[in-house]
Amino acid sequence: MSPYLLAVFLAAVSGLPGLFLRRRGGAVAAGLLGLAAVLGIGAAVRVLAGGGSGQARLPAAPLGTAGLLVLDPVAAWFLLPVLLVSACGALYGLGTWEEGRPGARFLRLAYGGLTAALALLVAAAHPLVFLLGWEGMAIAAFALVMMEDRHPETRRAGWIYLVCTHTGTLCLFAAFALLPAGAGPFAAFPAGFAASGRGTALFLLCLLAFGAKAGVMPLHLWLPPAHAAAPSHVSALMSGVLIKMGILGLVRLLSWVPDPPVWWGGVLMGLGVLSGVLGVAFALGQHDLKRLLAYHSIENIGIILMGLGLGSLGRSLGHPVVAALAFGGALLHVLNHGLFKALLFLAAGSAVHAAGTRDLDRLGGLGRRMPWTSAAFLVGAWAICGLPPLNGFVSEWLIYLGAFRAMAVSRWAWSAGLLAALALIGALALACFAKAFGAVFLGAPRTPAAEGVHEAPRGMLVPMGVLALACGAIGLAPALLVPALDRGVAALMPGPARPSLGGLASLPLLTGLALVLLGVALAFAVWLRPRRRTGDLPTWDCGYGRPTPRMQYTASSFADGPVSGLRWALLPRIHDARPGGLFPSPARYESHVPDPVLDRVADPALRRSARGLALLRVAQGGQLPVYLLYVLLTLLALLVWMVV
């Protein structure tokens, strides 16, 4: 059996031994997932390193027909974060979901199932296998989101997720019915198909299905509540990997098309800019740490879509260099976001677990008591803001290069819009993560709960360390990934022109400058290191001697500038009860940024339509004679129809 299939199998059964063991079921599951990760990542690395023909076709016999699962470079590229994040999450889960907690066995079972479904999905080369993996993923993820279903908000999040994912699956069924290859394995489209009416319908349906899964802006409504409700290591897997399956679908679609129409790229890029800018803007308005991270997933999906759209445009208009840079950036960002978003969710989960609240304005000062968790979150925040020398910078830099190249080779004005959008997203993400890190880990504890925290156990810190190291390694030596990335990009650009990223981007120079930066920083850090710390001194608060922690600037205040600047898009709800009169009542101030689609459109619209549909309930009286009457009437109608 090939290592890849063994990895899928191990992941699928990882939760089973725990059902029969009284203790250590979690350790066994984590061990099996770790083994699966080693095997699967080994197989993926071999494919990405060009082992054999670059395509490891799986032995067909055990699976029925040939070509059900093909571990090609794209599949291998997506497999890397799936297995790495899953194994790290399982190890982390041991710490939060300790033995004996109700549901721990079920959680392990569903978690292993989700991993197996994801690993199956990436290599699916046949519509049926794809749908199998897709549904397996959807149902396992639903079960995981509902783990804490004693909270009404969790139940709500779970149902919203289920409805959204099944609407997407429905679109996917329709899309696969339109494939030119019929019910056979996935194959490249004939030339001219993409521009036809059927091709257009296929593209739009895929956009709906994959966009809803990825959390592209108007279709993202399930994402923030589900990520906030799920256990943290599940959020890490969902945000880091699961939503990337929507991107995988779009990548597959683009790889089948020999001649993508220009408007495909335009639509992808437009959606990318919308998701990117609005995702980070809504993240700025959040008070819930995990919802904030969820909105950042929408933002990063936007960045990936910008890359895919730009690449598709580059192909349509015959600029392979632009396409290679943009696709390379998008693919690298898929991996990068998987790593740093999982890291952020794990670190945030530790903070939330320790302090017992997700509310940013009730945390604070955790960094003193949880130095390692705080450092892990800082690394994740650093990377997600796209700051050098970590991995987020490299992928964003490649997309920047693609946009600049696009501008140089043509009269494309929109690429300047892309640049401005990327710059704005970068600056707002920086503000948002300064807010999140500052509010949670810096300053003084705002509540007693935040004061009594303890550092997470080593089992939870190790997975974070692994992910942080991976972020640092990709950031410091991106050139090492170029051959693998080139093979992924080649899948997206069928045809003779295959520029290598190694020749396009000066990645080794980035490494050199990153080392200079670290060296200089280290030298100054040594120079600054205090020989001794003088006494127990307060913060200088401009002459005021007794500042209390509640006087600190809150996360909401920190974000107030950008949020009120983006009022027209965010539409924050502000309840401001000011004191007045001779005997003033206590003042209150609250502000919320409700989700634009879920809370403002979908929820009211569905409520109203539910009221309208209640009229149909008359027909469902629950009385047997009435139903028999329906049967009779139907039969009569059929009889009349057949006779006439």
Partner 1 sequence: MPGPLVFPAHVALHLLVALLLPPLVPGLIAKVKARMAGRTGPPVLQLYHDLAKLARKEAVFSRTTTWVFLAGPVATVAAGLVASLLVPFGHTPAPVAFEGDAVLFAYLFGLARFLTILSALDTGSSFEGMGAAREAAFSALAEPALFLGFAALAKATASLSLTPMLLSQGLAAGRLTGPLILVLAAWAIVYLAENSRIPVDDPNTHLELTMIHEVMVLDHSGRPLALVLYGASLKLVVLGALLIDPLLPATGRGWLDWLVFLGGLGLLAVAVGLVESATARFRMTKVPQFLVAGVLASAFAFLLLLV
Q: Using CB under 8 A, which residues numbered 414 to 433 contact partner 1? A: 415-416, 419-420, 422-424, 426-428, 430-431, 433
Minimum CB distance to partner 1, residue 452 (Å): 17
Out of 1, 528, 615, 643, the only residue in the binding site for partner 1 (CB under 8 A) is 528
Out of 565, 579, 604, 621, the only residue in the binding site for partner 1 (CB under 8 A) is 565
Amino acid at residue number 570: L
Q: What angle do CA 278, 381, 521 make, to 5 degrees?
A: 135
Question: 526 vs 640, which CB is nearer to partner 1?
Answer: 526
Question: 252 vs 435, which CB is nearer to partner 1?
Answer: 435
Asked if 293 touches partner 1 (CB under 8 A), the answer is no
Q: Residues 483-522: x/- map of binding to partner 1 (CB under 8 A)?
A: ----------------------xx--xx-xx--xx--xx-
Give the three-state DSSP class for 511: helix
Distance of CA 531 to the CA centre of its chain: 44
Out of 59, 182, 452, 538, the only residue in the binding site for partner 1 (CB under 8 A) is 538
Minimum CB distance to partner 1, residue 103 (Å): 36
Minimum CB distance to partner 1, residue 551 (Å): 5
Restricted to residues 208-247, the positions that interact with partner 1 (CB under 8 A) are none
Minimum CB distance to partner 1, residue 276 (Å): 13
Minimum CB distance to partner 1, residue 505 (Å): 7
Spatial distance between the Cα atoms of 55 and 70, rounded to a whole number of angstroms: 7
Out of 454, 496, 536, 640, the only residue in the binding site for partner 1 (CB under 8 A) is 536
Out of 278, 393, 463, 593, the only residue in the binding site for partner 1 (CB under 8 A) is 393
Minimum CB distance to partner 1, residue 253 (Å): 29
Q: Enumerate residues 6+ apart whose C-beta is below 8 A from 441.
A: 351, 365, 366, 367, 370, 374, 377, 378
Compute the radius of gyration of the chain from its Cα atoms.
26
Asked if 568 touches partner 1 (CB under 8 A), the answer is no
DSSP for 271-327 reads HHHHHHHHHHHHHHT--BHHHHHHHHHHHHHHHHHHHHHHHHHHHHTT-HHHHHHHH
Q: What does DSSP say about strands 56-57 and 70-71: parallel, antiparallel, or unpaired? A: antiparallel
Question: 154 vs 556, which CB is nearer to partner 1?
Answer: 556
Minimum CB distance to partner 1, residue 554 (Å): 8
DSSP for 631-642 reads HHHHHHHHHHHH
Question: 408 vs 587, which CB is nearer to partner 1?
Answer: 408
Spatial distance between the Cα atoms of 579 and 595, rounded to a whole number of angstroms: 30
Spatial distance between the Cα atoms of 157 and 148, rounded to a whole number of angstroms: 11
Size of interface with partner 1, in residues (CB under 8 A):
79
Spatial distance between the Cα atoms of 10 and 545, rounded to a whole number of angstroms: 61
The kind and range of the H/E element at 384 are helix 371-384
Question: 201 vs 409, which CB is nearer to partner 1?
Answer: 409
> Shortest CA distance to 402 belongs to which of 532, 477, 492?
492
Q: Which residues pair with 577 in a beta bridge?
A: 588
From 113-121, 361-369, 485-493, 610-618, span contacting partner 1 (CB under 8 A): 361-369
Question: 506 vs 609, which CB is nearer to partner 1?
Answer: 506
Asked if 540 touches partner 1 (CB under 8 A), the answer is yes
Out of 142, 210, 327, 437, the only residue in the binding site for partner 1 (CB under 8 A) is 437
Q: Which residues pair with 382 in a beta bridge?
A: none
Asked if 386 touches partner 1 (CB under 8 A), the answer is yes
Give the three-state DSSP class for 71: strand
Asked if 404 touches partner 1 (CB under 8 A), the answer is yes
